A and B are shown apart, each in its own frame.
Chain A
Amino acid sequence: MTLTGFWSTVKHTFGVKRLFWRIFIAFWLASILVMIATGFVLVNNFSSDEYNKRFFNDVISQAERIVWRYEHELATPTFQKSKLKNWISNKNNRDGHLIPMIIKDDGGKIIYKHRLNKIKLEDRAEQRVSGPSNRNYQVQIRKPQAPRIYKQVLYRFQSLQFGFIFIASALVSALLSWSIILPLNYLGAFSRRYANQQEVVSLPRKLLARGDELGDLALDIDFMVNKTHAAASAQQQLLHDVSHELRAPLARLQVSAALIEQKTPDSRHVKQIHNDCLRIDQLIQQILDYSKLEQSSPSIENSDINALCQQAIDNMAVNYPTIAVNFSPDDKVEISGYPEALLQAFDNIIGNACKYSDDGGLVEISTSAREHSVIVTVRDHGPGVDEQEMSKLLQPFYRAGNKMHTSGFGLGLSIAVKAIDKHKGELRISSPDDGGLCVEIVLPRELI
Chain B
Amino acid sequence: MENDKYKILLVDDDATLCALLSEFLQEDGFAVETLNSGDAAVARLLESDEFDTVVLDIMMPGMSGLDVLRTVRAKQQIPILMLTGRGDDIDRIVGLEMGADDYLAKPCNPRELGARIRAIIRRTQQGNTNHIVHAQLHGILLDSGARTALVNNVALPLTGAEFNALSLLMERAGQTISKQDMTQEVLNRPLEAYDRAMDVHVSRIRQKLAAANIHDVIKSVRGVGYQMLTEPQLQQEKG
Contacts and interface: CB of A to CB of B under 8 A. Distances in A.
Interface residues of B, number: 30
Contact of A274 (B20, B28, B109, B195): B109
A288 B222 contact: no
A229 interface: no
Interface in A51-106: none
Contact of B24 (A255, A313, A319, A340): A255
B68 to A, nearest CB: 19
B222 A252 contact: no
Contacts, number: 70
B107 A281 contact: yes
Interface string B125-142: 000000000000000000
Contacts of A255: 17, 20-21, 24, 110
Interface residues of A, number: 32
Contact of A318 (B24, B27, B192, B222): B192
Interface in B196-214: none
B193 A259 contact: no
A315 B193 contact: yes
Given A251-B17, A340-B89, A316 B107 contact: no
Interface string A268-285: 000000100100010011
Contacts of B194: 315
A258 B110 CA distance: 6
Interface string A236-276: 00000000100110111111101101100000000000100
A251 B107 contact: yes
B87 A288 contact: yes
Interface string B8-22: 000000101100110
B87 A285 contact: yes
A291 interface: no
B24 A259 contact: yes
Contacts of A194: none
A264 to B, nearest CB: 13
A252 B27 CA distance: 16
Contacts of A281: 86, 107
B191 interface: yes
Interface in B62-121: 85-87, 89, 106-111
Q: Which of A258, A316, A319 has the most CB of B within 10 A?
A: A258
A259 B23 contact: yes
B118 to A, nearest CB: 15
Contacts of A316: 193
A252 B17 contact: yes
A254 B109 contact: yes
A310 interface: yes
A89 B125 CA distance: 137
A285 B86 contact: yes
B108 A247 contact: no
Contact of B179 (A244, A247, A289, A314): A314
Given A247-B107, A252-B16, A254-B108, A313 B195 contact: no
B36 to A, nearest CB: 13
Contacts of A274: 109
Nearest to A309: B223
Contact of B87 (A253, A256, A259, A289): A289
Contact of B109 (A258, A262, A285): A258
Contacts of B89: 340
A136 B81 CA distance: 131
A307 interface: yes
A244 B91 CA distance: 15
Given A247-B85, A315-B194, A327-B223, A252 B24 contact: no
Contacts of A327: 223
A285 B105 CA distance: 12
A314 B190 CA distance: 13
Contacts of B107: 247, 250-251, 253-254, 277, 281
Q: Which of A255, A259, A327 has the most CB of B within 10 A?
A: A255
B216 to A, nearest CB: 19
30 contacts: A244-B85, A247-B85, A247-B106, A248-B14, A251-B17, A251-B108, A252-B14, A254-B107, A254-B108, A254-B110, A255-B17, A255-B110, A256-B20, A258-B24, A258-B110, A258-B111, A259-B110, A262-B24, A262-B27, A274-B109, A281-B107, A306-B222, A307-B222, A314-B179, A314-B223, A316-B193, A318-B180, A318-B192, A319-B193, A327-B223
Given A247-B107, A252-B20, 13 more contacts: A244-B85, A248-B14, A251-B17, A251-B108, A252-B14, A253-B107, A262-B27, A262-B28, A281-B86, A306-B222, A316-B193, A318-B180, A327-B223
Interface of B: 14, 16-17, 20-21, 23-24, 27-28, 59, 85-87, 89, 106-111, 179-180, 190-195, 222-223
Closest 5 CB pairs of A and B: A251-B107, A258-B110, A255-B20, A315-B193, A318-B193
